[in-house]
Amino acid sequence: MREKATVLGQELLGTTFQNPILLAAGTCGFGEEVSEVMELDRLGGIVTKSVTLEPRAGNPAPRVGEFRAGMVNSVGLANPGAESVRRDRLPWLRDRVRKARVLVSVAGHTPDEFLEVVSILDDADGFLGFEINLSCPNDTRRGGLPFALDPGEAARVMQGVRARTERPLLAKLAPNTPDFGPVVEAVQDAGADGITLVNTLPGLVLDPETGEPIIGAGAGGMSGPALRAVGVHAVWRASHHARVPLVGVGGVARGTDAIQYLLAGASLVQVGSASFWDPRSAGRVVKWLEEYVGRHAVENVSKLVGTARLPGSRGTPQEADD
Considering beta carbons, is residue 215 or 259 the nearer one to ligand SIN? 215
Q: Note the residues at the interface with ligand SIN (CB under 6 A).
A: 26, 50, 73-77, 133, 136, 138-139, 199-200, 221
- Cα separation of 150 and 187, whole Å? 11
Considering beta carbons, is residue 26 or 44 the nearer one to ligand SIN? 26
Considering beta carbons, is residue 108 or 221 the nearer one to ligand SIN? 221
Instruction: Kindly name the residue from 8, 40, 102, 136 that is annotated as catalytic.
Output: 136
Shortest gap between Cβ of 199 and ligand SIN (angstroms)? 5
Half-sphere exposure of 192 toward its Cβ, with a 13 Å CA cutoff?
31
Shortest gap between Cβ of 276 and ligand SIN (angstroms)? 13
Residue closest to ligand SIN (Cβ): 136
Give which of 205, 201, 206 is closest to 221, Cα–Cα: 201
3-class SS at 117? helix
- Cα separation of 33 and 256, whole Å? 27
- Helix or strand (DSSP H, E) at 131: strand 129-133
Sign of CA dihedral 224, 225, 227, 232: positive
Considering beta carbons, is residue 23 or 136 the nearer one to ligand SIN? 136
5 CA to centre of own chain? 22
Catalytic residue check, 28: no
- Cα separation of 113 and 124, whole Å? 18
Residues with a known catalytic role = 136
